[in-house]
Amino acid sequence: MTPVPADSVPLPADFAQFVTLEEAQAAVRAALPGPGTEWVAPEEAFGRRLAAPLQAKVAHPSATESALDGIAARAADTQAASAQAPVTLRIVGESRAGQPFAGEVGPGECVRIYTGAPLPPGADAICPVEQLEFRGEGEVSLLTPARTTDVRHLGDDFAPGDELLAAGTRLTPARVALAVAGGHAQLPVLRRWRVALLSTGDELKAPGSPLAPGEVYDSNRYGLRGLLLDCGAEVLDLGRAPDDVAELAARLDAVGGADLLLTSGGVSMGRYDFMRDLLLERGEVTFWKIRLRPGGPTLLGRWNGLSVLGLPGNPVSSLVVFELLVRPALTGEGLRTARLRAGAPFGHAGQKTAFWRGELRGGEVVPYPKQSSGVLRSLSDAQVLVRVDPAQLVAAGDEVEVLWLG
């Protein structure tokens, strides 16, 4: 294929250009296949999302038990206890986790008990060890009444059949612990997305190699790889492809087993933007170009049935578009936004939706000094992206919508 100017590439009748951010987000979500389900052990579930609701198989606690170390007694026997007039009870045994007391507590009796141990029949209250004076092995004096509030009742936390976690819940350490407490040795989770990652461009070099004028290190691949891993995706790293049509097509043909191919570079308006040309001429295109700054030249299409999202080569553009389009599609979550007060004016980008890099100062957000899509430090130093809609004027003191970074 001979490279041709972008304006001479024939466009299909259903080809969409200059879509809105919301249209692009919906298209990327629709481009992913339906999520599959797999079962994993709890130690492999952290950060994953539940594919189905999770119900408790057992009760928690599994018995009525003590919340404290102390003694278990009949509350009625201890009501008069005080530091000035202690009540003395006879110790008839002990109950500890895994080895409960086998008998029954009668009037004037108690058993030593430890946190999490089953409450023996006859007892209905706990006196903490700090309020006890032991008199040899057989008796104990209570300096305060035993309390029924220090008893955890069977199923207080949850009972069999109770829903523990809803479908789609992200499994944090506390939620994995809850699932295990509910009796689950395997958890149904959404299959990890498998995303192939490819950088394109003759100018790209491996980290640490010598650079000639005009060459750059392939930073996009490392930034995008980190973002994919942060989203819980499995990354198929395809390395770098030169500006050669035949080799680029061969790289695309060789992608197997991926849900999405994510590329950077080769999708703008230049004569050597071959990723754009390949999809337009030999693949399918859903949209090309978004009313967005940075990241306008983004392209979504298909190659031999594989969904391809082509990100711009400028480093800021590729990483910002990932946050806006790819992260919500992979995680199933909305954008992580908040409302903050602007500490300085933010300009608009004409008919495009702008996402300016912003820094937090004294509870307000101000523009990062350099907003060029080639200034990678702006994403490293900024804490938020500030959304400014088409023709919107943002003055100091106005409230703005921000997207959290990191």
DSSP 261-282: EEEESS-SSSTT-HHHHHHHHH
| Calpha distance 358→364 (Å, rounded) | 10
> How buried is 2 (Cβ within 10 angstroms: 0-12 exposed, 13-18 middle, 19+ buried)?
exposed
Parts of the chain with a pLDDT under 70: 1-13
pLDDT score, position 374? 87
Number of other residues whose CB lies within 10 A of the CB of residue 186: 13
- Which pLDDT value is given to residue 7? 46
Pairing mode of beta strands 132-135, 139-142: antiparallel
Q: For residue 152, what pLDDT is reported?
A: 97
| Dist CA 173 CA 143 (whole Å) | 40
| Residue 54 β-bridge partners | 165
Q: For residue 70, give the nearest of 85, 44, 98, 91 by alpha carbon.
A: 91
Strands 87-95, 65-66: pairing is: unpaired
H/E stretch holding 112 reads: strand 109-113
User: Which pLDDT score, from 0 to 100, does residue 406 have?
Assistant: 75
Residue in this structure with the two tokens 């090309």, named with its chain if needed? 288
End-to-end C-alpha distance for the chain, whole angstroms: 41
Per-residue pLDDT, 391 = 87
Token code pair at residue 284? 């399918």
- Cβ–Cβ < 8 Å for 32, 190: no
- Domains of the chain in sequence order: 6-35+191-331 (3.40.980.10), 38-58+163-190 (3.90.105.10), 65-152 (2.170.190.11), 337-404 (2.40.340.10)
The pLDDT value recorded for residue 1 is 43
Q: Strand 292-293 relative to strand 139-142: parallel, antiparallel, unpaired?
A: unpaired
- The first and second tokens of residue 395, run together, are 């003055």
Please give the structure tokens belonging to residue 285: 């295109």
50 contacts 171 by C-beta, under 8 angstroms:
yes
Q: What is the DSSP letter of 1?
A: -
| pTM as predicted | 0.82
DSSP state of 120: P
Cα–Cα distances in angstroms (integers) from residue 380 to residues 16, 19, 316, in the given order:
33, 28, 10
Cβ–Cβ < 8 Å for 220, 373: no
* DSSP calls for 206-262: -TTS---TT-EE-HHHHHHHHHHHHTTPEEEEEEEE-S-HHHHHHHHHH--S-SEEE
